[in-house]
A and B are shown apart, each in its own frame.
Chain A
Amino acid sequence: MSLLKISDLRTYFKMEGNVVKAVDGVDFELEKGEIVGIVGESGSGKSVTCLSIMKLIPEPPGFYPTGSIEFMGKDLMKLNTKQMSKIRGNQISMIFQDPMSSLNPFLTVETQLTEVLEIHQNKTRKEAQKIAIDILERVGIANAPRRIKQFPHEFSGGMRQRVMIAMALLCRPELLIADEPTTALDVTIQAQILELMKDLNRDFGTSIIFITHNMGVVAGMTDRIVVMYAGKMVEKASTSDLFETPKHPYTNALLSSIPRLDIDDQGSLTPIPGLPPDLSDLPSGCSFHPRCKFADDQCKAAYPDRIELSKDRMAACWKVNV
């Protein structure tokens, strides 16, 4: 049985009479110890997918017309707020994009770390403090017994993200959701944080869902990748398959927009023309057709079926066999 099985997840928002389909049909599975990447441009529904797994979407305006999220045999969609709080931060943790604003500026790091253990494991403040210091050291914060007494503003960006990771790992969760954890950091710090996450995945066996718009980052991190566009899953494949033989034109376009060091005369990068569509006013047929160089009348008329190419390999495109 897989650790997490998401089936037909849809997250819509009611906005001034309009229904915005932020996530519109996402299915994927995650095995224990696996790292799955979700990639796509801004507004493709990556973050909303993950916030939906945590049930952190404010309802209203958000609602889930369909979908089930099976986690360790339980359907999270059927849990109430109280049952869900027992899972959040305990069995499923999340780290966010912006470590500057994701820690509470008014509370010490110690308070923010120990409260997790106090609520989920009934630890006393003292026990919790010891565990927190250990884990801070584990994520590479020197001088942890002194640093833990400090406030977030006394940490640098990279250090704050380490604190966030430490906070997420306190209860040794089965699943860690990382929503663009390195986007706000500079490149050298990015590499350190990615390395740290890989180590933790290996040492603790924590499964990770890794959200990013950076194809370079997912290549080195993940086992499998889900590509999202305008709220829909357009391609799903193992990382090596996806990079070697991308099937969806959108995946292809994403890959050609990465700068590469291993090709001498690359010429200019190929950007994807146009902008991601407005979710409240999607184009007809395949949402990607206005930006796709292979698009024809069929693409404008109807949304393509998902084509199962092999086990765990899927693409939703009329031109997939071309």
Chain B
Amino acid sequence: MLFFIAKRLVGVVITLFVIITLSFLIIRITPGSPFSQERDVPVEVLEALKAKYGFDKPLHKQYFQYIGNVVKGDLGLSIKYSNRTVNEIIKISLPKTMQIGFLALIWAILVGFVGGAIAAVKQNTKWDYGLMSIAMCGISIPPLVSGPLLILVFALALPWFPTSGWGSWKHVVLPSISLGSVYAAYIARLTRGGMLEVIRSNYIRTARAKGLSEKAVVVKHALKGGILPVVTFLGPAVASIMVGSVVVEKIFNTPGMGPYFVDAAFNRDYFLLMGVVIVYAVFLLLLNLLVDIAYGFIDPRIRFE
């Protein structure tokens, strides 16, 4: 088990290295520069700026210097937000994004899981059809629509929550629901599918033949196998929930990390963009590792080798 984790961590580092290298190259090859503006900047100023960020050196030297800095944990300076380091920006914005993400995740798992399980147990009844229709709506309605709708209802019509901004726990609720609903819908559908497959299996018939109550059959015998597809989905889902949604954070005007993804790309803010990519990649890789470990705990047939 420990050996398995160690081996996978080495893999994570290698993958991360490849991701950093490719992103670095792609970002630099893309036309445009952080200093291109509508009005031309004097040549001397431009040279000075380039020197400040080390862009005057050949690309391979910049690359090795960047890798060296990343290993030391230094993600460089932001170009757009001058005099702020990328580390600082991420340190301030990521926790806010993660707060929203965490609540969204709890909401998504709770609603998706219970909804999906009920739909599976009551397959082809009005419960099933109702819940799956709601799930279908959940998948089809993106935060771009659900966000303003939630504000309209729960901030303006019923003044329970603030429309936007940051400060109290109340600011987190609406963005979390908006962000989590799509995931809740996916989880509900996956749970239903997984549970249905298990409920039809022979060992569930055995459990019924033993005289277990329907509740015990579902909770004790069907749930573990039924959630496996959900666990697989959760790895990448948690990663993208945790680094935030551009749309949700723009709509609710949350000072999170999501908008930096897009802004940094538009502004050619090389180091900030790289920093955001690295954070996302680390989340994704570690959570996938976590999913594989979780699999081993849920399904005893899986061995860590």
A residues 88-125 near B (Cβ < 8 Å) are 88-90, 93-94, 96, 98, 101-108, 115-116, 119-120
- Is A260 located at the chain interface by the 8 A CB criterion? no
Count, chain B residues at interface, CB 8 A: 22
Q: With a CB–CB cut-off of 8 A, which chain B residues contact A151?
A: 300-301
Q: Which residue of A lies closest to B224 (CB)?
A: A106
B206 contacts A106, C-beta separation under 8 Å: no
- Is B157 located at the chain interface by the 8 A CB criterion? no
With contact pairs A105-B301, A151-B300 given, residues A96 and B202 touching in the complex (Cβ less than 8 Å): yes
How many residue pairs link A and B with beta carbons under 8 A? The number is: 76
CA distance A164 to B206 in the complex (A): 9
Of the stretches B52-60, B71-79, B208-216, the one at the interface is: B208-216
Most chain A beta-carbon neighbours within 10 Å: one of B211, B221, B224? B211
- Is A80 located at the chain interface by the 8 A CB criterion? no
Binary CB contact string for chain A from 167 to 205 against chain B (1 if under 8 A, 0 otherwise): 100000000000000000000000000000000000000
- Is A56 located at the chain interface by the 8 A CB criterion? yes
Most chain A beta-carbon neighbours within 10 Å: one of B208, B209, B216, B224? B209
- Is A153 located at the chain interface by the 8 A CB criterion? yes
B298 contacts A106, C-beta separation under 8 Å: yes
- Is B203 located at the chain interface by the 8 A CB criterion? yes
Which listed residue, A89, A105, A115, touches B220 by the CB 8 Å rule? Answer: A115
Q: With a CB–CB cut-off of 8 A, which chain B residues contact A102?
A: 202-203, 205-206
A residues 120-156 near B (Cβ < 8 Å) are 120, 151, 153
Which listed residue, A82, A88, A153, touches B210 by the CB 8 Å rule? Answer: A88
B208 to chain A, nearest CB (A): 6
Q: With a CB–CB cut-off of 8 A, which chain B residues contact A56?
A: 205, 208-209
Q: With a CB–CB cut-off of 8 A, which chain B residues contact A107?
A: 220-221, 224
- Is B237 located at the chain interface by the 8 A CB criterion? no
Q: List 24 A-B contacts (CB under 8 A).
A: A54-B209, A56-B208, A87-B211, A88-B210, A90-B211, A96-B202, A103-B203, A104-B206, A104-B207, A104-B221, A104-B225, A105-B300, A106-B224, A106-B298, A106-B299, A106-B300, A108-B300, A115-B210, A115-B212, A115-B216, A116-B211, A119-B213, A151-B300, A153-B301
- Give the interface of B toward A (CB within 8 A): 201-203, 205-214, 216, 220-221, 224-225, 298-301
